[in-house]
Amino acid sequence: MKNILVVDDEPRTREGIRKTLEMWSSGRYRIEIASSGGEALTWLENHDASLLVTDIRMPEINGLELVERIAGMPHPPVVIIISGHSDFEYARTALKFGVVDYLLKPLDKTKLVQAVETALQREQWNGRIERMRKLVDPKLLETVQDEKVYSPQVQKALQYIDEHLGESVSLRETAEHLHMNASYFSVHFKEQTGLTFSDYVTRRRVQRAKELLTGTRLSIAEIAEQAGYQTPKYFVKVFRSLEGISPGQYRQQWLDEDAKIQ
């Protein structure tokens, strides 16, 4: 079950927020509470939260300091700030740290629930974006971003590789398709993309495999074949060398993360 953490040094306020959110949640979220920024940081070191609802003015560690500290966490929660003071500077600083809403006390229950629902939608969206970033090989992403400056030969080569990824595509075969000398093509390809022909093809095949692992129910052997590998064993070896885990483990991690953001 996902967590929402409420932080406020006023017992009446935090209990009021907790009860309101428990009623709204109907068991979908666990509502946790903390009475200070320090207590919240300690809790967040050992637990994940989808949403943090925090007061600004608290002793020792105030709400903005709390938000700043959690920004460096691997998976920081989205944040709603609450305050008893309409302070533009507080609001502006809060927005700088990615806070999704700024609510004034006394809290209106309807506005609180609306803000929470909006914030959780943002959290789901952030989760999906992060997962898509993990899916894409950063080296390949660089080649896509720079493709507009490639020579016509390299652009045609990239297209040819994609069209024949499931086959035994080679540097010599690609060079012949482009009517180029293989040695010259090899140097030209590396100069423009920053990758050797072999490295690019390997990364592109693993990228195709990741797309199939996360988007289909094909077996590892079927994915290996569609990604251009003659044997599943060699495919698993290459995949592990780039991703650090086996194709099966990668698929399971993706499914586990998918379940978390549903």
What is residue 73's predicted lDDT score, i.e. its pLDDT?
Answer: 85
Which residue in 132, 67, 57, 60 sits closest to 93, CA to CA? 67
What is residue 142's predicted lDDT score, i.e. its pLDDT?
Answer: 75
Is 53 within 8 Å of 6 (Cβ atoms)?
yes
What is residue 132's predicted lDDT score, i.e. its pLDDT?
Answer: 67
What is residue 47's predicted lDDT score, i.e. its pLDDT?
Answer: 92
Question: Residue 244 — very low, low, confident or very high, per pLDDT cuts 50/70/90?
Answer: very high
Q: How distant, in Å, are the alpha carbons of 139, 165, 232, 253 from that of 201?
A: 12, 8, 17, 25
Task: Give the dihedral of Cα atoms 72, 73, 77, 79; nearest 10 deg.
Answer: -30
Question: Residue 35 — very low, low, confident or very high, per pLDDT cuts 50/70/90?
Answer: very high
The DSSP 8-state label assigned to residue 107 in this structure reads P
Question: Inter-axis angle of helices 63-70 and 88-96, to 10 degrees?
Answer: 10
pLDDT of 147 > 70? The answer is no
CA distance 119 to 50: 9
Instruction: State the pairing for strand pair 29-34/2-7.
Output: parallel
pLDDT of 141 > 90? The answer is no
Structure tokens at 91: 């609001």
Which residue in 115, 97, 130 sits closest to 6, CA to CA? 115
pLDDT of 146 > 70? The answer is no
The pTM for the full model equals: 0.60
105-140 pLDDT per residue, tens = 889 999 999 999 999 888 887 776 677 677 788 888
53-109 pLDDT per residue, tens = 999 889 888 888 999 899 888 888 999 999 877 666 666 677 767 788 888 888 999
Mean pLDDT of 168-177: 94
